[in-house]
Amino acid sequence: MSDIDLSVDFAGLRLQTPIVLLSGCVGFGDEYTRIEGYSHEHVGAVILKGTTLEPRLGNPPHRIYETPAGMLNAIGLQNPGARYVVDHILPLLPHEKTQFWANANGTTPEEYAEVARIFDDSPVTAIEINISCPNVKAGGIHFGNDPEMAARVVEAMRPMTSKPLITKLSPNNADIAKTARHVIEAGSDGLSVINTLVGMAVDVDKRTPIIANVSAGLSGPAIKPVALWKLHQCRAVASKHGIPILGQGGICSARDAIEFAITGADAIGLGTGLFFDPLLCPKVLEGLRSYLERHGFGSYAELVGSLAS
């Protein structure tokens, strides 16, 4: 039995592993976890599907399209609303087996604040703030690309909850480190780096956009180099303030996860990779454990931020 410690401390929370299942990729925590072979012991936290104050139907189809080494999605935050999630979905989840985090969305700082207030009185252990949803016309792009507006969202949410706030940053940002600094100073307890890139696809026969929303979020292996660079840019700011980072963007193997850890990811986010390999979690953990043993590390935490200059 290995003595390697794969647990991590993240924003005051103790996660049993560094793996976090990302919002939008595992539904509300029940859909994906029914897969045969899935075990909660492999996962430090599950982030629920993006939730708004009021119910949303989302965008019209087509909403998903596979691209070379990636996927475009423009679901448009389809969800039943924060109050429904708290009253009807959260009570059914196995909170004793792993942690569940909310993912808060809104079109104004006030809406974000109200979502935080609703989730504050619930079993979720943290709230991820989605200020950078690229496929929602109202709010998402504006907040995520404007450091001051991003900070206003965090400032509005901070008094509404005692739970850790983790701000999800956009790669479609001219200065992601500046936005990181602003949201940390506004009260963010952690960062998620990165959200999807903005992209599109074209039907050459019809000469029309394939995605009904025209633009969509690009995820998957294609964005990994960008994600690593943005993580590297944010690491110095986060370290200065003692703020952890959930690294994400194209992680589909243990090697990918190791690259993110070395670059500065205190936890590892798995998303699109789960669509083509639903049992990715135990494979990543085993690969991490093996790497740490071979290189003389006693824990995952020792590997984080070990990138040589």
Q: What is the pLDDT of residue 142?
A: 63
Q: What is the pLDDT of residue 78?
A: 96
Question: Tokens 């995605």 label which residue?
Answer: 211
CATH number of 8-303: 3.20.20.70
Is pLDDT at 141 greater than 70 in this prediction? no
Q: What is the pLDDT of residue 173?
A: 84
Is pLDDT at 149 greater than 60 in this prediction? yes
Mean of the per-residue pLDDT values of the chain? 94
Q: What is the pLDDT of residue 172?
A: 87
Across residues 175-188, what is the average pLDDT? 97
| Residue 135: band (very low, low, confident or very high) from pLDDT cuts 50, 70, 90 | very low
* 155/175 Cα distance (integer angstroms): 20
Catalytic residues: 133
Across residues 172-195, what is the average pLDDT? 96
Q: What is the pLDDT of residue 144?
A: 80
Query: Is there a contact between 173 and 179 (Cβ–Cβ < 8 Å)?
Result: yes
Whole-angstrom CA distances from 296 to 150, 275, 289, 304 are: 40, 33, 11, 14
Token reading at 309: 């200059």
Domain ranges of the chain: 8-303
**Lowest mean per-residue pLDDT among 111-115, 138-142, 180-184, 190-194:** 138-142
Q: In 10 A of CB 242, how many CB atoms?
A: 8
Q: What is the pLDDT of residue 133?
A: 60
Across residues 42-68, what is the average pLDDT? 96
